[in-house]
């Protein structure tokens, strides 16, 4: 009888092997807000990526007889002042806004991490790189964007078409003006890590700096990088919205969430729902991404994890 009962030692052995990422997921799951946020964000991504394949109305098609309509089966979010379907415009707009957000975030992340690690690890580079960071922090985004748009618009438009050109321009500008916080945080962490025993040990066996950074430093600063990545998405979406809101950036008939919000403000009194949709989409997406960042920070920190 007792033979059929597995011993304690055997139980331990049967348990599936756990990686670090399983632990992170377990911890992440305990954060309700983060879970909800992640769910919503995935939903938004699915909607904007797959939505236009399922919802066939062209977001720029003007059906002038159907203008200023409220929600109906044909137009679930109603139509705008020219009879364009608001739902289709929300999907198309979300595609651009989210794409801008993610791409600009990646760009700023790569830049910020590179500058931060280099400045933290190599003492010689620290001064110049940090002064460069200060310089960028002092740059005002909007005037800079105006100048850049004026200088490079025609060249990029010729090379990539009107929408592609502006997309590259906006992503680039948001990317190069939002990497500084990441760089500073990463540098601080790297400075602290550099003095730790395991780094000293690695260096004493002759590990070259390239491998030191890849093997020992980067994995340990992953948690602040991940967090600033999520915050970066939110920031980029908001910046793009602000630019469209000001009437800059994409052509006026090219929907983005910010542009939809901007167009709707004129009709705030008569058709308040028109401001509501893009406003809600922007705030909820940003909020959900922020929650994901919050959850990730807790989950990625081994000292908090498991408590």
Partner 1 sequence: MNIRHLLLGAAASLALAPAAFAERGADGHVSIIYWQAPSILNPFLSGGTKDIEAASLVIEPLARYDQDGNMVPWLAEEIPTVENGGVASDLTSITWKLKPGLVWSDGSPVTAEDVKFTADYCMNEEMGCAQGSKFQGVKSVEVVDELTVKVTFEGPKPFPYGPFVGAQSPIIQKAQFENCTGAKAPSCTDANFGPIGTGPFRVTEFRPNDVIQMEANPNYRDPNKPAFATLTFKGGGDAAAAGRAVLETGEFDYAWNLQLAPDVLANMEAAGKGKVVAGFGTLVERIMVNLTDPSPNLPEGERSTRKHPHPFLSDPQVREALSLAIDRQLLTEIGYGQAGRPTCNVLPAPAIYASDVNDSCLVQDIERAKKILEADGWVDTNGDGVRERDGVELRILYQTSTNAVRQDFQALIKQWWAEIGVATELRNIDASVFFGGDPGSPDTFQKFYADVEMYANNFDGTDPEAYMANWRCDKIASPETQWQGENVPRFCNAAYDALTDAMARTASIEKRAELAKMMNDILMQNHIMIPLVDRGRVSAHSNTLGGVVLNTWDSELWNAADWYRIK
The residues binding partner 1 (CB under 8 A) are 60-62, 64, 67-68, 81-82, 84, 150, 154-155, 157-158, 162, 247-248, 251-253, 263, 266, 269-270
Give CA–CA dist 66/86, Å, rounded: 12
Smallest distance, partner 1 to C-beta of residue 153, A: 9
Give CA–CA dist 294/114, Å, rounded: 23
Instruction: List the structure tokens of 232.
Output: 């970066």
Nearer to partner 1, 189 or 240 (CB): 240
Nearer to partner 1, 128 or 161 (CB): 161
Beta bridge partners of 266: none
Please, is 62 exposed, middle or buried when counting C-beta atoms within 10 Å of its C-beta (0-12, 13-18, 19+)? middle
Smallest distance, partner 1 to C-beta of residue 79, A: 13
Smallest distance, partner 1 to C-beta of residue 145, A: 12
Q: Tell me how far the alpha carbon of residue 194 is from its chain's centroid.
A: 29
Nearer to partner 1, 42 or 151 (CB): 151
Smallest distance, partner 1 to C-beta of residue 85, A: 13
Smallest distance, partner 1 to C-beta of residue 117, A: 40
Smallest distance, partner 1 to C-beta of residue 264, A: 10
Nearer to partner 1, 72 or 252 (CB): 252
Percent of the chain that is helix, strand, coil (3-state, to 5)? 75, 0, 25
Smallest distance, partner 1 to C-beta of residue 163, A: 9
Nearer to partner 1, 75 or 84 (CB): 84
Phi first, then psi, for residue 269 (nearest 5°) are: -75, -45
Nearer to partner 1, 157 or 203 (CB): 157
- 85 in Cβ contact with 79 (< 8 Å): yes
Give CA–CA dist 110/271, Å, rounded: 42
Nearer to partner 1, 134 or 253 (CB): 253
Nearer to partner 1, 165 or 175 (CB): 165
Taken as a whole, the chain contains a residue count of 307
Smallest distance, partner 1 to C-beta of residue 74, A: 19
The DSSP-derived string for 219-273 is: GGGHHHHHHHHHHHHHHHHHHHHHHHHTT-SS-TTS--HHHHHHHHGGGTTT-TH
Give CA–CA dist 195/284, Å, rounded: 41
């Amino acid at each position: 009888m007792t033979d059929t009962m597995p011993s304690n030692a055997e139980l331990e052995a049967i348990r599936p092997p756990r990686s670090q990422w399983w632990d992170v997921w377990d911890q992440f799951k305990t954060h309700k807000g983060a879970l909800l946020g992640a769910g919503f964000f995935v939903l938004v991504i699915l909607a904007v990526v797959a939505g236009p394949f399922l919802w066939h109305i062209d977001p720029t098609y003007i059906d002038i007889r159907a203008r200023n309509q409220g929600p109906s089966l044909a137009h679930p979010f109603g139509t705008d002042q020219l009879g364009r379907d608001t739902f289709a415009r929300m999907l198309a707009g979300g595609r651009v806004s989210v794409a801008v957000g993610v791409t600009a975030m990646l760009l700023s992340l790569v830049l910020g991490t590179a500058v931060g690690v280099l400045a933290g690890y190599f003492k010689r580079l620290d001064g110049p790189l940090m002064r460069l960071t200060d310089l960028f922090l002092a740059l005002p985004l909007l005037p800079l964007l105006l100048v850049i748009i004026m200088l490079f618009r025609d060249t990029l438009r010729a090379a990539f078409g009107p929408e592609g050109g502006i997309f590259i321009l906006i992503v680039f500008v948001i990317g190069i003006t939002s990497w500084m916080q990441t760089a500073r945080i990463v540098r601080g962490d790297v400075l602290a890590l550099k003095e730790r025993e395991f780094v000293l040990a690695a260096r004493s066996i002759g590990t070259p700096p390239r491998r030191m950074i890849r093997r020992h430093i980067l994995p340990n600063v992953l948690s602040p990088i991940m967090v600033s990545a999520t915050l970066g998405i939110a920031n980029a979406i908001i910046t793009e919205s602000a630019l469209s809101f000001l009437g800059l950036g994409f052509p006026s008939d090219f929907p983005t969430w910010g542009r939809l919000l901007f167009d709707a403000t004129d009709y705030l009194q008569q058709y308040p729902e028109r401001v509501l949709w893009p406003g809600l989409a922007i705030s909820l997406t940003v909020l959900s991404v922020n929650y994901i960042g919050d959850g990730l920070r807790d989950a990625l920190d081994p000292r908090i994890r498991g408590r």
